[in-house]
Amino acid sequence: MASDKLYMESIDAGYLKEFEATVTSVSETSLFLNRTLFYPLGGGQNWDTGKIRWDSGELNVYEVRGRGDIEHFVGDDHGLNEGDKIHGTIDWERRYSHMKMHTAQHLVSGIVYEMFDGARTVGNQIHADQSRIDFNPIKFDEQMIEDLFQRANDIVEKGAQVTDCIMTRDEINSIMPPDRTNMNLLPSSVRNLRVVRIGDNIDLCPCAGTHVRTLEEIGTLQFLSKKNKGKGTTRVKYTLKD
Say how far apart CA 89 and CA 37 lie, in whole Å.
Answer: 8
DSSP 185: G
Residues 128 and 110 in one domain: yes
Burial of 21 (0-12, 13-18, 19+ CB in 10 A): buried
Which CATH number covers residue 162? 3.30.980.10
Give residue 52's domain range: 4-90
pTM over 0.75: yes
Query: Are residues 8 and 84 both part of a single domain?
Result: yes
Looking at the structure of the chain, the number of domains it has is 2
Say whether pLDDT at 167 is over 90: yes
Q: In terms of domains, do 107 and 85 share one?
A: no
Check which CATH number belongs to the domain holding 36 and give it. Answer: 2.40.30.130
The pLDDT score that the predictor gives to residue 180 is 87
How many angstroms separate the CA atoms of 11 and 109, rounded? 20
Specify whether 153 is located in the same domain as 39: no
pLDDT at 185 over 80: no
80 pLDDT band, cuts 50/70/90, is: very high
pLDDT value of position 45: 97
Same domain, 55 and 128: no
Same domain for 100 and 85: no
Q: Is the pLDDT of residue 6 over 90?
A: yes
User: Could you say which of 90, 117, 141 is where a domain stops?
Assistant: 90
Q: To 10 degrees, the CA torsion angle through 101, 185, 160, 234?
A: 50
Q: What is the pLDDT of residue 190?
A: 82
